[in-house]
Structure 1
Amino acid sequence: MSARRAEPAAREPDALDAAPVFAALGDATRLRLVARLVADGPLSISSLTAGTDISRQAVTKHLQVLEHAGLARATRRGRERLWALEPEPLDEARRALDDLSRQWDAALERLRRFVEEDGE
């Protein structure tokens, strides 16, 4: 009889899992690029640099950081590469922050009860 291994339970993402996302978003230029991709959808590097003082090379490097964190992906359309936002890592980071917020709320509630009980 073969032993069946239980599937690991799905777990909530934690802040450490989301650290690459937070690191990638910790730069104002990358935040602007993300905002632009959210607002306008997939864009070429030429479109992303139009009207800015940021070089194509700098935008390319920032997009590579976002890509490494799973936040952006490039697809080829003809001779152009279009960059698009990948929303799932942002959703996971938000869930991790929501979880941290719940932990802090619970800790503060325990502290409040402790202080109120000690004062009686």
Structure 2
Amino acid sequence: MKRVLVIEDDHRMRDLLVRQLSALRCVAFAVGAPSGAQQAVDAHRPDIVIVDIGLPEMDGFALADMLCHNGIPMIASTGSASPDLEERVREAGFAGLLRKPFRLQDLARELRCPLPGN
């Protein structure tokens, strides 16, 4: 069972991600601001971290740079349609990209988890 930390400032998106992760049989933890990210990583020891790129205190790229020493794979999450975003995400060391709105199938693919019922 994968342990997934979600760092997302929008409470609706954060709640949706936690529900979707539960449906994928993952153990999900969530924080709403970058300031709690390192503490959550230390406390929960996630297998993977989903990072919103558009966070208020610092963007997801800066947060990924701060967390990269943990050696935990990270997936970027964004509503941006910027054409150069995929390249920026790869260069920042993210293992994947979820573009909002995304479906359960998209999340399962990025996490390499089976869909419910499969």
TM-score bucket (shorter structure): under 0.3
Specify the structure having the higher radius of gyration (Cα): 1
Q: Which has the higher helix share?
A: 1
Q: Which has the higher strand share?
A: 2
TM-score, scaled relative to structure 2: 0.26
TM-score, scaled relative to structure 1: 0.25
